[in-house]
Each structure stands twice: as structure tokens, then as C-alpha cells.
Structure 1
Amino acid sequence: MSSTAEVRGPDEDQGPGPALLAGDAAGEAARRRTFAVISHPDAGKSTLTEALALHARVIQEAGAVHGKAGRRGTVSDWMEMERNRGISITSSVLQFGYRDAVINLLDTPGHADFSEDTYRVLAAVDGAVMLLDAAKGLEPQTLKLFEVCRAGKVPIITVINKWDRPGKEPLELLDEIESTIGLKPTPVNWPVGIAGDFRGLLDRRTGEYVKFTRTSGGATVAPQEVFKPVEAAELEGVAWETAVEESELLEASGADHDQDAYIAEETSPLLFASAVQNFGVKQLLDVLVELAPAPAPRPTVKGDRRELDAPFSAFVFKVQAGMDTAHRDRVAYARVCSGVFERGMVVTHAASGKPFHTKYAQALFGRERSTLETAYPGDVIGLVNANALRVGDSLYVDKAVEFPAIPSFAPEHFSVMRAKDVGRYKQFRRGVEQLDQEGVVQVLRSDLRGDQAPVLAAVGPMQFEVSAYRMEHEFNSPVMMEPLEYTIARITDPDAADTLSRLPGAELMMRSDGTALALFLNKWRMMTISREHPGLRLDPLVGGASAV
């Protein structure tokens, strides 16, 4: 397999990396760990992503080491706007080898305005890492994303991050997790030293002490030494005794790891770390390899499951343009569900029934790409300039299969987009079409407004800022954005236009897929119109921002 898992080196201490040779799909799938990291903004998600790549020896120096003011761009934050803002606003894929496993890490946007992108990524993973700030515990966005994982039956590993800074007591954090979301934490390790005085970790499985040594700015892997319990007591004194006592308390309360309970989403293996200092990151990688679930047969729309060794199948969970500024191309991200993918194979596009050629298949590592020859269940393949593909589309070889659609969120923010330079209308139209195909914002039109003033509908207002930025920098068409006061959308019938056009506080728009949407100022205006016009169809959109 000519992919990043092969060309990027493994952990130097773990022996040779995986040799990705064509063979048994189920056997290769067993070596895959495909997961996403979820968190509230500023919990350190992109920093952890970078630290994982650093410990797997696929990068030489961490990019996020000095905070937002002076940080270098992380590998996963490839968009210039992400680097300038210091936040992740689009998902990305990092694939690398570690020990005898292949890690597929899907980085997700941290900001709530980009929840839809995160939702789609979570549909493509087998597990998730829930990252919590030691000082803040469970925060609103984390709770919403946890509910998405629970709905999708995605097992969760919890990481308490920023233990090098002052924070809550560790037992308090565990109580908060269990009482708030009903997930019992089962710590794999325990911190030696209070939050803000992170000395190392008590490995609860071996009883040994892993002592960390700081590096300059946390830019490189933090050296660690392993000591026997007696040696640890001499080194750390009271701090070690406290850690041992608390670990024994956890054992007495039944907070030890149980693999079946973890897979059943009843418990969550828990670790402590400081991603910015690269403390505890190797331990997380080891837990992912040893405990996280490998790909399993995926459910189909017919209610059965596509076996791993069935002929090739995959589904598209993301479409992204603008990653390669030199070529202005478009990449469809597809999660392999079964069989062996080989570049150049002809697959069937389930939505159209037409053949699809995969000559331009690539492996992804953030913004970087390389030619991909072979992939297995759990892997993510990038299909370049696959203009026919949309989010949720299924691909297959031989026996037809279709995977469940990925629901769109109900938009809550609306804005009119207009080109600043009418002489660039061709570029404007191409940019709007691309945004529409990616599906992160919905593009709405009406006869009243015309094609030159489409309405963008999004989960969060920052999506409009990103869209305007991309229109100018990717499509060379600067635009003006005019926010609308609508806050709610409902599916209706096209013939409702006559009714809605006469009513203040409402408007009918058409989505590119032919769906008619009624927009309302607020839910009270919608309820009033519904009461006055009982025959008017007003169906909720599938999904919804409030759901996550």
C-alpha cells in the first residue's frame, strides 16, 4: 500500500512499521484503529493530534507548542484561516503506523459552528477520544458531541488534558463524568502530582511509575523513565503515596477496565496527559492499539451488515475543495467498509448506478497527499475530482450495497451572498456550486432573489466567514454577506410559495436537491402561520444542530 502508513515511520521503540501488503481484508482490518478526537474548543484537540503524530515518529517537531499567539501551524490545520485563528474549522485525516497497527486519526473542527463536519466524521469512525480540560471538565460542546457518539454507538476513551496546569481534583473529575453522562470512567493510569504539578503516571495495570522529563516548549517527545513502586516512593514521597491510595480506592469501587463494558459504551478507559508537553501521549497510543475497537461489519440500509471480507464497499463522509491551491481540485473522503481497494478499480456509484473510475486515489495526511495503491476496511481514501460524489454516497464492487445516509443539520443562520465584482460572475457561480457540493453550508435560491443572490444556510455564523474567505482566496470572487433574520427552516411543498409570499416573517426557498424550505423569523412566527394555515406542510429537517 503506497500510503502515509507506509512512508511515515513508526515509533522507533516499537520495531518496524506495518507492511501493508494486499491480503485478507478482515485480517488487515484487525490492525486498523480509526477514531476521532472530540472536545470543547480550546481543550487542546489539535495539540493532542499533533502530539500523537509526534510520538508515532511521523513528524519531527510539534507545531502547536506555544499557544495561539505564537503557535506554528499544526499538521492537521491545513487551511490558512485555521492557522491564523488557531482553531480547527475543517476536518482532516492523518494516517500513520504505530507498533503493528495502522492509525487512522480523523481530526475534527472544535468550534460549535462546525458541528456538522464533526457529525459526518463521527459517522466514519469506530471509536472516539473525548478530550477534557482538567480545569473545566465536561463543557457544552463536549456534551453535545458525546450524545452524537452515544447515538452512533461509538465507544469512547477519555483523556484528561492539561494536567500540567492547575485544575480540579482527579476524583472530582471522575465523579462529574459518571454523574453527568452516565459513563463510568475506568482509569488506565493515575497522575502523580496534583494538577499543575504533573510529575508522571502510575500505571494501574503494572503498578509501575512512569516519570516524565520536560522538553523545551514541549516541541519534542518528552523522555520518560519507568520505576518500580519502591523506587517511585523514594523519588516522589507523599505524591506517590497519594496516587497509590487513590488508585486502591478506584479498585475497591470497581473502576477497573472491562473490555466488554467499554465496547458496550458503559465504561470509558481514562488517561491523564498534557498534550502541549507531550506527557502521557504514548500511553494513549498504546491504549488505542490495545483496547480500541477495530473495524467491524457496517450496517446497511436493508438492515443487514456488510462483512469485512465482502467485495469492496465504502461511503463518502466529506467533500473538500481548496486543499491543493496549485490545482484547485476537489477531494471526496471515503471510508472503506469492506474488501480491498486497489487504485484504478472500477466501482459502482450507488446513487446513480453508474461506474466510477478510481484512477486518482490518494492517501491523506492533513493537507499532504500521496498516491494510494491499496486500502482496507477502516482506511480513508481521497478520490480527487470526483465531481459526481456527494456526502453520504455509497460505492461498491460486485454485490450492490448502500449504507445509511448521513443526515444534514437543520440550519439556524441564513445570509445572502453577492459578488462584489459582477465581472467575476463566472468565478462566483463556480464557487457557490463548490460550496453547495461540499454540503457544509446549504445553498438556497428563489425566483425572487435570483441566482446572483443565493442564500447560504448554516449551523453557525462562522461558516459564512469561512465561505466568504474561500470565495475570495480559492475562487477569486470577493463577496458581500448580508445576514437575514430567519432562524428556523422547515420542509414544505413548492406550491406553498404563493401562501408564504403574502406573509411577513416567512419566505420560501429551494435547495439544490429540489427540497422546498420555508424560512421563518422564529418559532413563534412559524407557529402562528401554521395555526392560520393548517393545510401548510411544515416538516422538520432530518437531524438538527440542537441534536448535537
Structure 2
Amino acid sequence: MSCAAASHPSRTHAPSIGTNFSALPLAQTATNDPDELSHIRNIGISAHIDSGKTTLTERILFYTGRIHAIHEVRGKDGVGAKMDHMDLEREKGITIQSAATYCTWKDTSINIIDTPGHVDFTIEVERALRVLDGAILVLCSVGGVQSQSITVDRQMRRYDVPRLAFINKLDRAGADPWKVIGQMQDKLRLNCAPVQLPIGLEEDHKGLIDLVKMKAFAFEGPNGETITEVPMSAEQAAWAAEKRSELVEKLADVDEQLGELFLMEEPIDEETLRGAIRRATTSLAFVPIFMGSAYKNKGVQLLLDGVTDYLPAPSDVGNSALDAANEEQPVALPCSRDGPLVALAFKLEEGRFGQLTYMRIYSGTISKGDNVINVVTGKRIKVPRLVRMHSNDMEDIMEAGAGDIVAMFGIECSTGDTFTDGTVRYTMTSMNVPDPVMSLAILPKTREAAGNFSKALSRFQREDPTFKVSTDPDTGQTIISGMGELHLDIYVERMKREYKVDAEVGKPRVNYLEAITKRINFDYLHKKQTGGQGQYGRVIGYMEPTPEDEPERFVFAREIVGNAIPPSFLPACEKGFREAANSGGLTGHPVQGVRVALTDGAAHAVDSSEMAFKLACQYAFREAFMRAAPVILEPVMAVDVRAPSEFQGTIIGDLNRRKGIILNSEGEGDDVVMQAQVPLNEMFGYSTGLRSMTQGKGEFTMEYARHAPVSTERQAELTASYKRERAAS
């Protein structure tokens, strides 16, 4: 199944209610090995930009012994964090590509994927969450739930990923974990409660109280490696008892076993509470909240205990595959090393020794030298090299099994391909891939660089499904499309550094869409007679907008009664309509949200053909489209701005000039935080403008929200410009 598919996996976490896996046929009678798999955790670390994900990962690697010295994300030592291995990442202090590693905490093996926080690299989060069994949602104790926090939470829900929350940066001025917890409940609609309490905040942050053990801990030593139990004051003990009661009450609402004890007013011991938290977390009914300061080395070890105690092992998660040999019927896929091999390629990366293919193994085992089948292409491939990744370092291994995340070298495939051992033809459903919102024209400065230019574009497309390359049919220019300015800037810079290609880049362009606003009937006859066989095809039906919640961009409905159009021609009809919908009549952009129904037609015994009906449908679509009150849709961005309160009026005035709609404005200490929706076309250069109007003290984030109709004046302007370009070409 190609990565472009918007489908997502059916997964359930016992004892949640979801796909009835017991009702699905089993992949193979397999011996499940939960004891072996129960000591594995596959987790991702996700958050809004600058919440401290990479710093947290760096501390996890240090405490688990994977690295022996801590390097900061923006460290002055010139080394940088282990997981940010690209030069660009270290220069900019941001994560661009997700990076995989593995470590051991006590007797648990943990595979970790550190993901970017910037919305432009959201595909890295999508593909990580697609293959993970659990996640850590990192939140800043000052910033709280921000725009990308909401996006990441939505992605976790899409793939049914249980998560722990970690409220980071308790040492910062203005830290307020209770505000963050309130936002998690209000904005994210999470049933959550803290399992820890902070001992002091800001510069007084000394340690944590564990509500499960009812003990207090301090973190001592140069890097907080020594955990010391400290006595609680009477006031702290009373506060902890109160918060533990609230935790038990929250869990009693979603866990039947604890609920019975709660109603009977039985005492809840440590093991009982820990078991209830695990059951509620893995069933997606509860999110336990941990706290600390990764930068100041506080709370990370207790978070690792939480990963072991509360997040599911691979054997706790039910997965389903599609049986390509049986009309893609769903089949339950037990996580067993005795079953048939089923592995999903979820990320590609050009390594030093060729293409690196990251895989999650769902069933069976894979060994170096094995022959595997790419179910999508049907090709048989010999596994030349199998490795475990530690950021950009690798460790050769001979074998990996169900529940593991590993990488293969030297094979050609695409993101989303499924590999099996040939005994079954199963495919895993692929990840959700958002459409690009911005494009720009690009051209190598010298003719000699054309070869490397093509190689770079080909590689970047294989690696990143949100990076698209096309050719403008009118000008012949190469157009690259992506998720935002930073996304495309990074690829232009990578082209220069990795392929020595200097490129001329045009002005960024917004990716518009077109849509219809009313239902229109059509009756079109395509009739052409030349020497020999002619062309004849008549199509009758209607075109209408799809409901707003309809996920499909284009829907084709066969509502023909009888054989007015021979059934063998109907696939050609659908193809004709789909091709026509790729280019609307106003600006040539794709048509969004249209349903075309074919109700009648006519065919000629001699002159009708697939080509005749395909052309008839294309002409019918174009003619009907212009009568259906078409509109142009532009991408609208959700923009969050934070700045000192004194600049509030100036910022609001500027957003209004940019045709933005202010949704909310609230004070947080000396700052004001504003949420707005602004057309993407008006946001070019906003970073420079905001710095200028706030004396460098303002910051903002934005992410795609929706496509919305442009103004009447703007539509007329865009349509006229498109007509001029076509006339000139």
C-alpha cells in the first residue's frame, strides 16, 4: 500500500474497546512469547518546538549508559545533542529529522524515536507514531499546551498511541504545572492527573514527591545521577495525600478493579495503584503526568520507571494487516517471533553506505542474508545488512524479531512498503500524509549541476512523502512543494551542502485549491467522426460538493441503472473525472471536495471506446465545474504569538492588516498569548516583522488549519492572472 494512502492502522490496547481482533482470522497459529516481549518498549518523544524533547532524550541516553557525557542542544562545546546529528540541526538548534536509538533501563529494552517539534516536519512525527507502541508528550511548564502540542496529541489519537505526559522546565521562571494540567484537560480533553508533585518551583525546584510510593526524592550529583529519598514535611505529606486521593478518584472512573475498591473505601496500596494506572494508560483512558527539569537533571529516572511500568509492550498491542491474497481483508497479527515475517518500512534515509530503510517488525524474525518479499512491488530481496541505529551510529546485528525497530541497508523500496517472508501476502496500512501548502520554483545555477540536482530531488522525495516535485505545465519550471518556508529552505540548503548544487529559488507560492458550492446536472455528448472508427460517448449525471467531514478529495459514484454505458467503460469514466479534477478551471489548481455521480449515458456499438468515454467525462467535468459556482480556497494557518503585553495592540493591528482573525488573547505573567487564523499568503516575512515590532522579544508558531475561500476580489485577481499566464504561454 502506498504511503499516499490516508488510511491508518487498526490497533487496540487491551482492555480498550476497538477492533474486535478475536473476530479476525489469525495470521498463523503462532506461539506468542509475552515474557520475551514484555521487556521491550517502543516509544516516541514528541512535543511543541522548544519544549525540551531532545534535551530529555539526551538525559535518557546518559542515565541508561548509552552516552557517557551530556551535550546540550545549543551547547558551547561544539558537539551538540547526540540525536541532532545533522550539521543543520546543530547550527539551528532544532530537530529536523526523527532519529532512532535504543537503550536499556534496568531490565527493559527501550527503542526511542526523537521527533521534531516544528510543524514543517510533521511527517517525521506521523511516521514515528505509526510504528510506536507508546509515547511521551513533553510540555513546557511555562508555555503549556501550545499549537504543536495539540497537533501531536491529535496524531497520537489517530494511531491509538498511549502516552505519558512530562511537564518539563520546572526550574524556569514562571513555571506553573497546575496551569498546564488544566490546559491538558480543557484543550486536549485528556483524562489526566499527576503521579508526582514538585518540591519547589523555579529556582527552588529541589525534587519530586512520588504519589504511587508516597515518597519524596531529590536528585544529587554533578548530573543528578544519585536519587536520594528525603523526608516529607507534615504539610507536604498532607498535600500528597490529597493529590493521591484525586488520582485514585480519576482512575476509579475508568478502571473497574480500582473502582470497586474505591466504592468499598478499601485502602489502595502501591501495587494496586500501579496496576490500575497501567491498565488505564494502555487502554487510552488515562494519561499519567510526570514532572521535572531535564536540563537540571531532575525527574528523568522516575520518568523511565514510568515508561517501564505504564506503557505497553509490543505483545500488549493488537495490530491488523490486510491480506492482499484475499481482497485485502483485515487479519489479526499477533506480535510473535514464531509467526510469518511482516515488517513495515516507515522511514528512508540516505546513509553513508546507501539507502537506509527503517523497519518496524510486527511478526516473525528477519536475519542477515534472508530473502524477503516486498509485497507492494512483488520483488524478492536479499537482506545484505541489518543494523540497530543509535542516531547516526549503527551496530550490526545478525537477527531481529517481532517488536524490534531496526534498519536494512542496500535495498530499494518506498516509505510504507511491507516486507514478508513469502508465506503470506500481508500489507500494513500506511500513515496519514498531509498535503503540501507551499511551493516555489527552483533551478540549478549551472548546467553542470543538473545531474546532482535531479539526484537530490529524487532522494528527498523518497525520504519525505510531504516533499513533492512537479513541473509547471505552462513555464516548464521545476516546482518543489512542502509544509512551509522552513521545510523548503532546509531542502535547498541540504542540496547545497550534500550535493554541491547552488540553486536559484523563486518567490514562495501558496498551494491553492478549487471547490464548487452548488449541485449541477450535466449531460455531455462527445462525438467525433474522422476517417475510420470515430469517437462516441455520452455521460449524464450530476456534480455536488461533498460534506465538510468527508475525508476524500474526490468521490465518484456509479448510479447507473442498467447498461446504458457498458460496465467495461466505467473505469475509464472514473479516470476521466479524476484527471479533470486535478486541474480546476479557475487557476488550474486541484479541485477539493467534489462528488461526481454518473446516472445515465449512451454508447455506440462501433465508435464507443474507453478513450471516448474518458474524454467525454473530462469535458463534462470542466463544463459543469464552471456552472457550479466555483471558488478558490487558500490555506489558512493557526498562528500563536507570544510577546510582552505592551506590544499587544501593535501585534493585533498587524494581524488584522494581514486579514487575520483573532480567536483568543490572554495574559500569562508579563506576556500576552494570542491565537489567530491568518491566510498563509499573508504570513510571508512575518518573522522579521514580528521581531521589528516587538524589539526582538516576540515569538510565534504556526501550523496549517484548513483551506478557506478567498475574497471575491482576490478570486478575480487570481483568475485573471491565470488567464494571462496561459495566454502568454
TM, length-normalised to structure 1: 0.81
Contact 2:282 2:310 in 1 (8 A): no
**Does structure 1 residue 307 correspond to structure 2 residue 327?**
no
User: In 2, distance between residues paired with 1:155 and 1:416?
Assistant: 41
1:183 aligned residue (177, 182, 190): 190
Partner of 1:100: 107
User: Counterparts of 2:96 and 2:444 in 1: how far apart (Å)?
Assistant: 24
Single out whichever of 86-95 and 418-427 deviates more from structure 2.
418-427
Indicate yes or no: 2:480 matched with 1:477: no
1:427-478 superposed Cα distances (whole Å, 9 cap, x missing partner):
111111111211341112244444xx42111112212111112211212222
Change (3 A) 1:441 1:294: same
Q: CA deviation at 1:251?
A: 4.2
Contact preservation (8 Å) 1:297, 1:337: no
Aligned to 2:228: 225
In 1: Cα distance, 2:474 partner to 2:577 partner: 15
Distance 1:169 1:316, change over 3 A: same
2:177 alignment partner in structure 1 = 170
Task: Quote how far apart the aligned CAs of 1:26 are.
Answer: 4.8
Tell whether 2:344 aligns with 1:348: no
1:63 aligns with 2:63: no
Which residue of the partner structure matches residue 378 of structure 1? 403
**Residue in 2 aligned with 1:45?**
53
Structure 2: distance between partners of 1:263 and 1:147: 17
SS at the partner of 2:150? helix
Contact 1:104 1:378 in 2 (8 A): no
Structure 1 residues 495 and 311: CA distance shift in structure 2, 3 A: closer
Contact 1:54 1:221 in 2 (8 A): no
Task: Tell me by how many angstroms 1:315 deviates.
Answer: 0.5
Q: Write the letter of the residue equivalent to 1:432.
A: L
Structure 1 residues 89-134: Cα deviation after superposition (integer angstroms, max 9, x where no partner)? 1111011122221100011111111011211111010111000001
Evaluate the alpha carbon distance shift between residue 489 and residue 75 of structure 1 in structure 2; reply closer, same or farther with a 3 A threshold. Answer: farther
* Change in CA separation of 1:484 and 1:221 when aligned onto 2, cut-off 3 Å: same
Q: Distance in 2 between matches of 1:200 and 1:422?
A: 61
TM-score by length of 2: 0.62
Q: Determine helix, strand or coil for the equivalent of 2:284.
A: coil
Contact 1:263 1:293 in 2 (8 A): yes
Change beyond 3 A, Cα 1:248–1:204: closer
Q: Distance in 2 between matches of 1:117 and 1:298?
A: 21
Deviates more, 1:478-487 or 1:262-271: 478-487
Secondary structure of residue in 2 paired with 1:128: strand
C-alpha displacement of 1:356: 1.4
Per-residue CA distance 1:146-200 (angstroms, 9 max, x = gap): 0111121111100010011233443333222122222122322211113442111
- 2:470 maps to 444
Match of 2:232, SS state, is helix
Alignment of 1:223-262 (within 5 A): 223-227=226-230, 231-233=231-233, 240-241=236-237, 243-244=239-240, 246-248=242-244, 250-251=246-247, 253-254=249-250, 258-262=277-281
Q: Deviations over 1:251-276 (max 9, x none)?
A: 47436653222122121111111111
Q: Secondary structure of the residue that 2:510 maps to in structure 1?
A: coil
The amino acid across from 2:319 in the alignment is R
Is the Cα–Cα contact under 8 Å of residues 137 and 176 in structure 1 kept in the other structure? yes
Shift of 1:365: 0.5
**Equivalence for 1:270:** 289
Report if the CA contact (8 A) 2:139-2:145 is conserved.
Answer: yes
> Please, which of 408, 416, 435 is the counterpart of residue 441 of structure 2?
416
Give the letter aligned to residue 190 of structure 1.
L
Pairing of 1:124-523 with structure 2 (within 5 A): 124-213=131-220, 215=222, 220-227=223-230, 231-233=231-233, 240-241=236-237, 243-244=239-240, 246-248=242-244, 250-251=246-247, 253-254=249-250, 258-295=277-314, 296-301=317-322, 302-309=329-336, 310-321=339-350, 323-324=351-352, 327=353, 329-387=354-412, 389-397=413-421, 398-438=423-463, 439-450=465-476, 453-489=477-513, 505-507=587-589
1:38 alignment partner AA? S
Q: CA separation in 2, counterparts of 1:359 and 1:171?
A: 52
> Sequence identity of aligned pairs in percent?
21
Contact 1:416/1:481, CA 8 A, preserved across alignment: yes
Indicate if the aligned counterparts of 1:201 and 1:209 stay in contact, CA closer than 8 A.
yes
CA distance in structure 2 between the partners assigned to 1:245 and 1:500 by the alignment: 62
Cα distance between partner residues in 2 of 1:481 and 1:489: 23
Deviation at 1:304, TM superposition (A): 2.1
Q: Distance in 1 between matches of 2:437 and 2:113?
A: 26
**AA matched with 1:130:** L
Distance (Å, rounded) in 1 between the aligned partners of 2:623 and 2:405: 46
Greater shift after overlay, 376-385 or 439-448? 439-448
RMSD: 3.2
Matched AA of 1:183: L
Gaps of 5+ in 1: 1-22, 510-527
Summarize deviations over 1:513-541 as a string: whole Å, max 9, x none: xxxxxxxxxxxxxxx998526599x999x
Structure 2: stretches of 5+ with no match in the other structure: 1-30, 252-272, 323-328, 515-552, 555-574, 592-621, 635-702, 707-729
Counterparts in 2 of 1:184 and 1:196: CA distance versus 1, 3 Å: farther
Give the aligned partner of residue 91 of structure 2.
84
How far does residue 83 in structure 1 lie from its aligned partner after superposition? 0.4
**8 Å contact kept, 1:47–1:275:** yes
Q: Which moved more, 1:455-464 or 1:243-252?
A: 243-252
Counterpart-to-counterpart distance in 1, 2:33 and 2:501: 46
AA aligned to 1:180 is K
Amino acid at match of 1:442: K
Question: What letter is aligned with 1:225?
Answer: T
Greater strand proportion: 2
Asked whether the 8 Å contact 1:361–1:381 carries over to 2, the reply is: yes
- Greater shift, 340-349 or 77-86, is seen at 340-349
User: 2:264 maps to what in 1?
Assistant: none
Which whole-Å deviations, capped at 9, do the CAs of 1:266-296 have from their partners, x for residues lacking one? 2111111111112110111111112110113
2:32/2:335 contact within 8 Å kept = no
Cα distance in 1, alignment partners of residues 581 and 384 from structure 2 = 50
- 1:140: how far off? 0.7
Shift of 1:505: 3.4
C-alpha distance in 1, partners of 2:37/2:170? Answer: 34
SS of match in other structure, 1:276: coil
Q: 2: CA distance between counterparts of 1:275 and 1:382?
A: 29
